[in-house]
Amino acid sequence: MKTLKSLYQTYREVFWYLVCGAGTTVVNLICFWCCANLLRTPTAVSTAIAWLFSVIFAYITNRTFVFRSQNSGLAAILREMTAFFGARIFSGALDVALMVIFVDGLHLPEMWMKMAVNVLVTVCNFVASKWIVFRKKPSKSAGECPETFSGNFSGKARKREGSRPFKEGGQPPF
For 128-152, the pLDDT digits (tens) are 777 776 666 665 554 444 433 344 4
Average pLDDT of the segment spanning 85-95: 88
Higher pLDDT, 159 or 14: 14
Task: Tell me the pLDDT tens digit for each residue of 40-86.
Answer: 999 999 999 999 999 999 988 988 888 787 778 888 888 888 988 88
Kindly report the average pLDDT of the chain as a whole number: 79
The set of residues, in sequence order, having a beta carbon less than 8 Å from that of 66 and lying 6+ positions away, is 13, 16, 17, 20, 129, 134
pLDDT at 138: 65
pLDDT at 169: 52
Average pLDDT of the segment spanning 81-108: 91
Residues in the chain: 174
Higher pLDDT, 128 or 108: 108
Average pLDDT of the segment spanning 9-33: 90
Q: How confident is the model at residue 109 (pLDDT cuts 50, 70, 90)?
A: very high
Average pLDDT of the segment spanning 152-171: 46
Which of 6, 14, 2, 3 is closest to 123 using CA atoms?
Answer: 14
Query: Which range, 34-38, 58-62, 67-71, 166-170, is most confident?
Result: 34-38
* Count of beta carbons in the 10 Å neighbourhood of residue 123: 12
pLDDT at 164: 47
Assign 3-class secondary structure to the chain.
CHHHHHHHHHHHHHHHHHHHHHHHHHHHHHHHHHHHHHCCCCHHHHHHHHHHHHHHHHHHHHHHHHCCCCCCCHHHHHHHHHHHHHHHHHHHHHHHHHHHHHHHHCCCCHHHHHHHHHHHHHHHHHHHHHHHHCCCCCCCCHHHCHHHCCCCCCCCCCCCCCCCCCCCCCCCCC
Q: At residue 167, does pLDDT exceed 70? A: no
pLDDT at 140: 57
DSSP-derived letter for residue 63 is I
